Amino acid sequence: MSERVVVKIPKYDIPVKRVEPVMIPLDQMLPHEEIVSKRLEDLVDLIKRLNAVDMPIILAPIPSSNKYLIVDGHHRWAALKELGARKAPAIIIDYFDPSVKLYTWYPAFSGDLDVFLKELGRAGVEYSVCSDMSSSVKGVEEGCYAFLLIGKDGSCIEIYGGVSGQKKVSHILDWLSSSDLIKLVYYGLKEDALDDMRNSFVEYVLLRKTPSKEEVMEIVRRGEVFSPKTTRHVLPYIPAKTYTPLNKCF
C-alpha cells in the first residue's frame, strides 16, 4: 500500500495487557488478507534491525483443523518466512468470543472519478450507475456488490465482483494513489468517512459489507484471501510488546 495513503483509526479506550506468547510454527498459520510488498519490506528491515520480533502474532484456531487463522500480524508472519524462520511468537484467542469485534475499512478518495471508472473498465470490473440510492445502500449492506461508491456530487455507482472485485478495486486505488492521481484515505468508521465527505475532505466514499467471522474462516479454508484492509479486528486488550529474540524463531 502506498505511503501516501492516510489511515484514520477510530480511538478506543482499550487497556494494554502483557500476555506471554507461545511459539507456533509458521506453516500452521494461514493469512486471510493479501500481503502489501512495501509493508513487508519495512517489517523485514525492522526485525533485522531489532534482531527480535517486537509484537506477537494474534491467532485463532480454525475449527476441525490444526491450523490457525492470522487475526493480526500478516506482515510479521510473511517477514519471518522471508527471513527463513520456522516459528513465531503468538497469542491464541477465541475468535468467536463476543469481545472480539470484527469491522471493515472504508476506502475514500478525492480526484477525477472518470479516471477511477476508466481503470475499473481496464481491469474488467463491472459497474453501473444506481437507479435508486436508498435501495443500492440496502443492497451493499446485504452484500450484493463489491463496493457502493457514493460522492459528494451525488454520484452513486454499484461495483460488482465480490471478493475478486474488491481486490481489483484495492489495487486500482493503490496504483492511482502512488501515481498521485487521487488522494486516498482509509476510514475505520463509515460515519467518519461520510462526515469527511460532507465536509469536502474527501469527494467519494466506497461502502461495503463487513464480512462475518464465519466468512473469514471460510475464505481461509478455501485457501483464498481478501484484499488488504478488508477486516478490522478490535480485541478487548492491546497486546504489549514482548520483543522475542529472533534466534528463538529458528
Task: Please tell me the distance from the alpha carbon of residue 230 to that of residue 164, in angstroms, as a whole number.
Answer: 12
Three-class SS of residue 3?
Answer: coil
Alpha-carbon distance of 73 to 85, in angstroms, equals: 15
Judge whether residue 198 has pLDDT over 70: yes
User: What is the pLDDT at residue 31?
Assistant: 98
C-alpha grid cell for residue 18? 502483557
Report the pLDDT value the prediction gives residue 4, as an integer from 0 to 100: 73
Count of C-beta atoms within a 10 Å radius of residue 229: 21
Which pLDDT score, from 0 to 100, does residue 70 have?
98
How far, in whole angstroms, is CA 68 from its chain's centroid? Answer: 18
Average pLDDT over residues 204-231: 97
CB 163 within 8 Å of CB 226 = yes
**Which residue's entry shows cell 516459528?**
87
pLDDT over threshold 70, residue 250:
yes
Q: Pick the residue with more confidence: 5 or 83?
A: 83
| Euclidean distance between CA atoms 68 and 43, whole angstroms | 21
The helix/strand/coil state of 2 is coil
- 214: which residues sit within 8 A by CB, 6+ positions away? none
- Residues pairing with 233 in the sheet: 102
- Rounded to 10°, the helix 162-178/113-122 angle is 130
The 10s digit of each residue's pLDDT in 69-118 is 999 999 999 999 999 999 999 999 999 999 999 999 999 999 999 999 99
Q: Round the average pLDDT of the chain to a whole number and report it.
A: 96
Active-site residues, by number, are: 33
Instruction: Tell me the chain's radius of gyration from C-alpha atoms.
Output: 19
The span from the CA of 43 to the CA of 170, in Å, is 21
How high is the pLDDT of residue 3? 59
Model pLDDT for residues 13-64, shown as the tens digit of each residue: 999 999 999 999 999 999 999 999 989 999 999 999 999 999 999 999 999 9
| Cα 145 to Cα 126: distance, rounded to the nearest angstrom | 10
pLDDT of residue 2: 55
- Is pLDDT above 60 for 9? yes
Cβ-based neighbours of 25, under 8 Å, separated by 6 or more: 86, 87
d(CA 27, CA 85): 10
Tens of pLDDT, residues 126-170? 999 999 999 999 999 999 999 999 999 999 999 999 999 999 999
